[in-house]
Structure 1
Amino acid sequence: MSAFTERPLAARGREWAVATPHAAASDVAAEVLRGGGNAVDAALAAAAMLTVVYPNQCSVGGDLLALVGTRDGDIRFVNASGRAPRAVDVLPLTAAYDVMPVFGALPVTVPGAVAGWGTLAEIWGTRPLASALAPAEAAAREGVAVASGLANDLARESSHLARDPGMRGVFFADGEVLTAGQTLRQPHLARSLDLIGSEGPAAMYGGEVGASLVKLLAAGGSAMTEEDFAAHTVELSQALAVEYDGVEYLSAGANSQGLFFLQGLKALDVARTVRGPLDPLGRDAGVVASVLAWTAGDRDRYCADPDWSSAPVDHLLSDTYARRVAEHAMSGTAVDLLAQRKASGDTVAVVVADADGTWVSLIQSVFHSFGAAVLDPGTGIVLHNRGASFSLDLASPNGLAGGKRPMHTLMPVLVREGGELVGAHGAMGGRAQPQVHTHLALHLAAGSSPEHAVSVPRWVLGAMEAGVTTGAGVVSAERDVPPAGVHAIEEAGFTVRSLGANDDGVGHGQIIRRAPGDGRPHLAAATDPRADGSAVAG
């Protein structure tokens, strides 16, 4: 639970709403909305604040993917994910490693978050980017209280962090990692945020901030150059969509795993027509797990940079394929999983809706908890390890190559009904993000409120992250998942591992949904109790 005593997990409002995994981020977003800013302005303020208060899960040195929907019906996918160094020498890596390294300079791809912030502010924002970054800069300079989620990850990852001088200088005091409630000050990060505010994304992609990061990466053996940073671009495209029980869910294609969430949801809609409303915590848990296992396999076969290898989107989202997946899941035949890997925090989700009809689902991440476990002392920036997603099997569509984007776990979600946007969803959970979103969708379809949907017990299967394998076919279930659900999962051929209640090993969810009211619809927002967040509405 959070170190904060006052953090509402649910809120309702007529005009606007926001939910994030840290109360400080929700508060700054709410202030922007109260002051006349729009949903994108608010999302950017929250995103920047989260890099200060949740550096275990996101950073100026990480990536960003988002969906933005406006009242006129336009929905755009913002893909700010970065690429591998163009000069990377792949063959020595394949000779030295069986899988991509997780820590250090080698798995660091070009950080795309700052470019994503700039694009969002330029196209949809009503205020300068500097305005969104100012509260985060002040918080980094003046210090913030370490939240429980950050403290837990500091304790869990302390052995990795202690090996890096930059990490030790920020997150340790007197040789020990900071604990909940202690003050975290990040003056060098504050200066970086100030530079980005004054110079824009150019400070990262061709300026002082990026140059410092490249110098550190080169010292660690990376082939990254300032030219790689300067060449970074943000892509805008249309979202993909499927229906579940008459409600349309939209997510990301390209190198995002959003496609595979939609694929699974479409198959589950077929199962729903046969079995009735699906209960992922009861009799239908095994069917849901089997569908999710199938789609995870498709993700690992097909998800890659489309500039290098295009997934068969039309086939994966076809009615015929959805029936095939659903029938296999309902047959009771087990689906083999890739080996499970260690799980820890990696991602933050920001969801915002405003009175003008703009909806935002913004996801940013460092991939593993604290990313590559490398912090640049000159800039105060934690570097992500998104390149750990690459395969060293060069025949794989996701095989490492110079200038290539890795398969990306980030996947924003918007919801549409009757042609109008009615929801923004976001989740933390690494490779399990599609599963968290599936749980949320099934509970909402069964009539749950947003607050109930994010807070009920959950289970996830398979790998959250890339890394060392520890077993296969494992479903990690919170201890209060009902026995009927556990039994159904085991009957489907999976092994169940018990977690504690409200364990962040099953991810975090954030939701805003438009709901009927007394003569006028309202916005209902909810944040996951497994994080340190809050929901605010007005």
Structure 2
Amino acid sequence: MSHPSAEQRPSVTPQWAVASPHRTASDAAADVFRSGGNAVDAALAAAVTLTVVYPNQCSLGGDVMALIGAPDGHVHAVNGSGRSPRASDVARLGPTVGGMPVYGPFTVTVPGAVAAWHDIADRYGTLSLAPTLLAAAELAGGGVEVAPGLARDLEREESRLLADDGMRAVFTRHGSTLRSGSLLEQVNLARSLTLLAEGGAEAFYDGPVGKSLVRRLRQLGSAMSAEDLASHRTSFDDASSAVYAGHELVSGPPGSQGIFFLEGMAALEVVRERLGHDLDPLGDDAGVIAAVLSAAAQDRDRLLGDPDSSPLDIDSLLGRRARTVAESALLGDPSPRRTQPTRATGDTVAVVAADGAGTWVSLIQSNFHAFGSGILDESSGIVLHNRGASFVLDPSSPNVYAGGRRPAHTLMPVLVRRSDSWTGAHGTMGGRAQPQIHTQLALHLAAGRTSVEAVTNPRFVLGPTEPGAGDPSPRAAVKVEADLPGEARDALAGAGFDLAEIPAHDDGAGHSQLVRRNGTTLEAASDPRADGAARTHAG
């Protein structure tokens, strides 16, 4: 494998910042910074640690997408998502299936996280990944305290966890799931992490770890094969961008819903110019913002699929289509709106990091839904994601289920730059609502709010939250946190949306992580909706 030039792998200055949704992961990243690692090394340390402390949200059996911003301003878009088994077909799902399953063996695509970690480390890091994997193995084997966020998902998903032998063995005691503060021991996962430290990604894709996963999936009826794993490759692609209020927002890679976040931001730039002021999601602008978000979400559901078989016309989306969306939103439509049905908020983690030498990272990894497919391979200790639940069975859709395809993907890292210099790394949990949450973050920051304000301010999120849920209302439901101001609520209702209140700082509104340059200082903020922490060092 080729390695980057010295310009791409700079030595690290003492200044750094990182944020993640779990304190232990943020501390692991900080330790790597103190050991001389760059932002890439630190982000990977947090990412690996999160698979131990937040196995509900991410695992070795999931996917990764990332953006790496180099000091020279170049951006590297990393697609660590996998394909459906090549032998997959609709007939295997059974004759009575009414739609793509949400859970179970048929929703498991080839996990891309492990390959992506190693490829990112090899290309852009400065340290070996092996010590990070061994540290995570020690953590898994010795046990970690169940954090409140994990405990909530354990309680919510108890019946599903009790139904799987592997899940039951790890996450339950005496017939009930572990509670907050309990000790979670993952001895077999520790063994798998050690094998990866010793054998690299090959131990997963062409070695004992992968063989165990394939064996378990085939026992359950999946078409997954050893060849499917062995043929997996991380993709390195171009990112796309849109400008709002002088800030260039970068997202991707192809196959990610990030392009539809950019469509929305391009549309909101048109709205901003027409109205003559920066838009505020906490005030009278909430209605037009939500109208733009709704239109972009419908475009995503109509157009997004495997970029190899269904490439997007990105120039059209960010140009002509964005202007059309803006014009429609500005006209205002008080008639009832309907959003496309959504599966879930998604269980995802975001890690963002930056260093004083100018490397910036936004890395997102996920099981898709809480505990993914509901399958934990006992031998390896690995939770398997359910990313294949994103597929649809409509043969006319670009996201139709078929063998060897990547499903439309919710993971969407975001970087921000201004005047050719990196100024921000953003990431959020939120499944299909990630573009909406990213939009509100970007609008807060563009309006002059602080990093802490951006991640803590009340939010609204379009669409239902539960897996497999449709829209039972004749009008599109918008979840609003209890502390969302009245001006925003009135604007949303006036734009034709029904409101459904959720508690303030509810994890159903996603949890975000943010690193930002403020003058010559790096600052970081972690969303109070999770169990995270921001760590910084001024040098």
**Normalised TM-score (structure 2):** 0.95
* Residue 250 of structure 2: aligned partner: 250
Shift of 1:336: 4.3
* Residue 432 of structure 1: aligned partner: 433
Q: Aligned partners of 1:192 and 1:44: how far apart in 2?
A: 17
Say which SS state the counterpart of residue 48 (structure 1) adopts: helix
* Residue 479 of structure 1: aligned partner: 482
Q: Aligned partners of 1:463 and 1:389: how far apart in 2?
A: 15
Say which SS state the counterpart of residue 194 (structure 1) adopts: helix
Say which SS state the counterpart of residue 32 (structure 1) adopts: helix
Shift of 1:470: 4.4
Structure 1 residues 333-348: aligned runs within 5 Å: 333=333, 336-341=337-342, 343-348=344-349
Aligned positions, number: 521
Contact 2:89–2:401 (Cα < 8 Å) also in 1: no
Contact 1:282–1:485 (Cα < 8 Å) also in 2: yes
Say which SS state the counterpart of residue 106 (structure 1) adopts: helix
Shift of 1:337: 3.5
Structure 1 residues 167-182: aligned runs within 5 Å: 167-182=167-182
* 1:97 equivalent in alignment to 2:119: no
Distance 1:282 1:17, change over 3 A: same
Shift of 1:206: 1.0
| Deviations 1:222-269 (CA, angstroms, capped at 9, x unpaired) | 110010000101110111011000010000041100000000001001
Contact 2:415–2:425 (Cα < 8 Å) also in 1: yes
* Residue 500 of structure 1: aligned partner: 503
Contact 1:337–1:462 (Cα < 8 Å) also in 2: no
Q: Aligned partners of 2:68 and 2:55: how far apart in 1?
A: 24
Shift of 1:220: 1.0
Further displaced range: 150-159 or 320-329:
320-329
Contact 1:42–1:132 (Cα < 8 Å) also in 2: no
Aligned residue type for 1:386:
R
* Residue 140 of structure 1: aligned partner: 140
Q: Aligned partners of 1:132 and 1:140: how far apart in 2?
A: 12
Structure 1 residues 39-54: aligned runs within 5 Å: 39-54=39-54
Cα-Cα RMSD: 1.4
* Residue 291 of structure 1: aligned partner: 292
Q: Aligned partners of 1:374 and 1:505: how far apart in 2?
A: 23
* Residue 24 of structure 2: aligned partner: 24
Contact 1:432–1:464 (Cα < 8 Å) also in 2: no
Aligned residue type for 2:523:
A
Distance 1:261 1:55, change over 3 A: same
Contact 1:368–1:465 (Cα < 8 Å) also in 2: no
Distance 1:465 1:297, change over 3 A: farther
Contact 2:428–2:512 (Cα < 8 Å) also in 1: yes
Aligned residue type for 2:217:
L
* Residue 533 of structure 2: aligned partner: 534
Aligned residue type for 1:358:
T
Structure 2: unaligned runs, 5 residues or longer: 1-12
* Residue 524 of structure 1: aligned partner: 523
Contact 2:100–2:389 (Cα < 8 Å) also in 1: yes
Say which SS state the counterpart of residue 490 (structure 1) adopts: helix
Q: Aligned partners of 1:301 and 1:345: how far apart in 2?
A: 20
Aligned residue type for 1:310:
P
* Residue 411 of structure 2: aligned partner: 410
Structure 1 residues 378-417: aligned runs within 5 Å: 378-417=379-418
Structure 1 residues 255-294: aligned runs within 5 Å: 255-275=255-275, 276-294=277-295
| Deviations 1:81-115 (CA, angstroms, capped at 9, x unpaired) | 00000001223537432221111111000000000
Shift of 1:338: 3.6
Shift of 1:399: 0.2
Say which SS state the counterpart of residue 255 (structure 2) adopts: coil
Contact 1:38–1:126 (Cα < 8 Å) also in 2: yes
Say which SS state the counterpart of residue 362 (structure 1) adopts: strand
Q: Aligned partners of 2:472 and 2:29: how far apart in 1?
A: 41
Further displaced range: 528-537 or 212-221:
212-221
Aligned residue type for 1:79:
N
Shift of 1:149: 0.2
Q: Aligned partners of 1:153 and 1:321: how far apart in 2?
A: 39
Contact 2:57–2:349 (Cα < 8 Å) also in 1: yes
Q: Aligned partners of 2:506 and 2:18: how far apart in 1?
A: 23
* 1:372 equivalent in alignment to 2:373: yes
Say which SS state the counterpart of residue 534 (structure 2) adopts: strand
* Residue 509 of structure 1: aligned partner: 512
Shift of 1:128: 1.4
Q: Aligned partners of 2:491 and 2:99: how far apart in 1?
A: 34
**Normalised TM-score (structure 1):** 0.95
2:493 to 485, 490, 494: 490
Q: Aligned partners of 2:336 and 2:77: how far apart in 1?
A: 31
* Residue 7 of structure 1: aligned partner: none
